[in-house]
Amino acid sequence: MSSTATPFTGIAFRQRLTRVLIVPMLLITAIATVLAAVVLRLSTLSRAAAASERAIAEVNLLERRLIDAETGTRGFLQFGEEEFLEPKHSADRDIPISMEALRGEALDAEQRRQSDQVAEVYARWAGMSGAAVAMRRAGDSRYAALDTGIERKHLMDDMRRSLQVIRDRETVRAADRAAQAATMTRRTVVVTLAVAIAVGVVIGTFTRRELRRLGGTYQVTLAEMETNTAQLETLTASLEQRVEERTRQWQQANQELEAFTYSVSHDLRAPLRHISGFSQLLGEAMERSASPQVRHYVSRIVQRTHEAGQLIDDLLAFSRTGRVEVVRTRVDSETLVRSVVDSVMADGAGRGVEWSIGSLPVVDADPALLRIVFTNLLSNALKYTRPRAIATIAVRATHGPAITTFSVEDNGVGFDMQYGDKLFGVFQRLHGADEFDGTGIGLATVKRIVARHGGETWAEGALDRGATFWFTIPATAGREL
C-alpha cells in the first residue's frame, strides 16, 4: 500500500475538514451568545414590567380600601347603623397588609417617601375616625361638632394624592421598560437577520471553497483506495490460503498423533502382558526358595506392569475422547449421577460415605461422555476422602436457560491452590503414587470432554480441607432446556 499521505487520509485533510466544521460553529456560537445576552436582558425587563404591574395593582387596592373605610365611617356617623361599619372593619384589617405589600415592591426613593406619608396620614385619619365612631356609638352629641367630616376628607385627599404620585411614577417606569424592550426586540431582529445573512454568505463561500479543494483530491484518493483494496484482497486471499494450509497441517498432525498414541498403546499391551505373566510365574516358582527381598522385587514388577497397563487404558480413553463425535441430547443428569454413584461405590464398599445429591437438571449433552466426566470426578472424590472416617461428597447444579454449572465437593485431603493450574494436565499429580493410586489422566479427560461441549472446568481447594470441582455445560444454540 502507498504510504504517501493525501488530503483524504493525511493531516491536510483533517485540517481542512476542521476548518469547514469549526469556522461555522464558531460563528453560530457567537450569534447564540449575543442572542442569549439579549434574551437575558429582555427577561430582566419583563420581570421589571411585572413588578411595576404588581406595584400599581397594590396602589389601586390600597386606595379602594381607604375609600371603603371612609365611606363606612361617614355612613355610620350619619345614620348610626352598625351595618355601615362592616366595610370599615374589613378595610381597617386589610389596609396595613396592603401598605406592607406596597413597601415590599421595588419602589424608588420618592415613591417610598410618599408611601411613608400615606402611612402617617392614615394613622391620623384612623385615630380621628375611631374617636368619632366611639362618640356616635355612645350617643354623645358632641361628635357632630368634633367631626364635621371636612378634616377627614382632607386627610383622605392627602393619602389619595400620595398614592397617585406612586401610581404615576410607576406607570412611567413601566412605560419606559416596555419601550426599552420593544426597541431592543426590534434591534435584535434586525441585527440577527443581518448577521444571519452575513454568516450564511461567509459559511457558504468558505464551505464551497474548502469542498472544492477537497474535491480536487477525490480522484487521486479514489485511485489509491482502489489500489489498496486490490492489494488487500490479494493479501486476504493469501492469508486464507495460509490458514487453510495450516489447518490441514494441524488436522494431519492431530490425526497422526492420535494414531501414534493408539498404536503405541496397543503395541505396548502385548509386552506388558508377557512381563506381567512371566513375573507372576516367576513369583510362583520362587515362592518358597527365594528370599523375601527377591519375592518383593517380583511383586513390585507385577504391580508396576499392572499400573502401566492401567496407564495405557487411560491413554486410550483420553485419545478416544478427542476422536469420538459429540452427540448431544437431553440427559437427566440426576439419574445419571445416581447410576455413577452406584458404580463407583464398588470401590468404596465397607466405607462410611455420605452422599448428598441435589436436584440436578436435564441438560443438553452427550450422555456417554457426561458419564465419563462424573465417573472421574466422583471416583476422585471417593479416593481422596479415603483417610476420613466419614466421607462427605456433594453434587450440586445451578441451572439457567443458556448454561448449567455442576459442582462436586468433598471433605478429602484437598490440594494446595498454588499448584491448582496443574490439576487438569495429562500425567499431572499433586499426590504421590504411594499415597493414592492413579495415572493423572482422569481430570485431563474431564477437561477435554467439557471443552468439547463448549464449557469450562476449574477447581478450588485447600490442604486437608477438601476440594470442589466445577464444570459448565452450555445449551446448544437455539435450544433452551
Query: How many CA atoms, within 13 angstroms, populate the side-chain half-sphere of residue 464?
Result: 0
Indicate the pLDDT class of residue 267, thresholds 50, 70 and 90.
Answer: low
Smallest CA-to-CA distance from 265 within 313, 196, 325, 212 is with 313
Q: Which cell goes with 304?
A: 508396576
State pLDDT tens for residues 163-189. Answer: 898 888 888 888 887 888 788 778 777
Enclosing domain of residue 204: 2-220
In angstroms, the CA 376 to CA 126 distance is: 108
**Position 237 in a domain:** no
**Position 321 in a domain:** no
Asked if 459 and 420 count as a contact pair (C-beta separation under 8 A), the reply is yes
pLDDT beyond 90 at 146: no
Asked if 341 and 354 count as a contact pair (C-beta separation under 8 A), the reply is no
pLDDT beyond 50 at 3: no
Residue 86 pLDDT:
85
State pLDDT tens for residues 213-235. Answer: 666 665 666 777 788 888 888 88
pLDDT beyond 90 at 157: no
Asked if 321 and 449 count as a contact pair (C-beta separation under 8 A), the reply is yes
**Position 280 in a domain:** no
Smallest CA-to-CA distance from 90 within 71, 107, 73, 65 is with 65
One domain, residues 188 and 334: no
CA torsion through residues 128, 133, 138, 142, sign: positive
**Position 317 in a domain:** no
**414: CATH:** 3.30.565.10
Residue 5 pLDDT:
45
Residue partners of 48: CB distance under 8 A and separation at least 6: 106, 173, 177
Choosing from 179, 199, 220, the residue where a domain stops is: 220
* 283-287, 437-441, 459-463: least confidently modelled range: 437-441
Residue 422 pLDDT:
73
CA torsion through residues 120, 123, 127, 128, sign: positive
In angstroms, the CA 132 to CA 142 distance is: 9
Top-confidence residue, 427 or 158 = 158
Helical axes 292-323 vs 442-452, angle rounded to 10°: 0
One domain, residues 215 and 93: yes
Asked if 465 and 396 count as a contact pair (C-beta separation under 8 A), the reply is no
Choosing from 180, 205, 220, the residue where a domain stops is: 220
One domain, residues 72 and 204: yes
Q: Which cell goes with 169?
A: 411614577
* 7-16, 290-299, 424-433, 444-453: least confidently modelled range: 424-433
Query: How many CA atoms, within 13 angstroms, populate the side-chain half-sphere of residue 45?
Result: 19
Residue 121 pLDDT:
87
pLDDT beyond 80 at 455: yes
**188: CATH:** 1.20.120.1730
Indicate the pLDDT class of residue 365, thresholds 50, 70 and 90.
Answer: very high
Choosing from 189, 220, 251, the residue where a domain stops is: 220
In the chain, the percentage of residues whose pLDDT exceeds 70 is 72
Give the best-scoring range by mean pLDDT among 5-14, 192-201, 391-400: 391-400
Top-confidence residue, 424 or 63 = 63
One domain, residues 467 and 346: yes
Total domains in the fold of the chain: 2
In angstroms, the CA 449 to CA 443 distance is: 10
Contacts 24+ apart (CB under 8 A), 392-395: 392/353, 392/354, 392/356, 393/353, 393/354, 393/355, 393/356, 394/355, 394/356, 394/357, 394/358, 395/337, 395/355, 395/356, 395/357, 395/358, 395/360
In angstroms, the CA 233 to CA 408 distance is: 51
Residue 478 pLDDT:
46
**Position 300 in a domain:** no
Burial 422-453 (b: 16+ CB within 10 A, else e): ebbeeeebbeeeeebebbbbbbbbbbbbbeeb
Smallest CA-to-CA distance from 284 within 269, 271, 302, 270 is with 302
Residue partners of 332: CB distance under 8 A and separation at least 6: 360, 362
Give the best-scoring range by mean pLDDT among 118-132, 327-341, 431-445: 327-341
Q: Which residues pair with 383 in a beta bridge?
A: none
Indicate the pLDDT class of residue 204, thresholds 50, 70 and 90.
Answer: confident
**Position 479 in a domain:** no
One domain, residues 346 and 211: no
**Position 301 in a domain:** no
Residue partners of 455: CB distance under 8 A and separation at least 6: 403, 471, 472, 473, 474
In angstroms, the CA 265 to CA 312 distance is: 6
**Position 270 in a domain:** no
pLDDT beyond 70 at 99: yes
State pLDDT tens for residues 270-323. Answer: 676 667 676 667 667 766 666 777 666 676 676 556 556 555 655 666 555 556
30 CB neighbour count, 10 Å cutoff: 12
One domain, residues 207 and 338: no
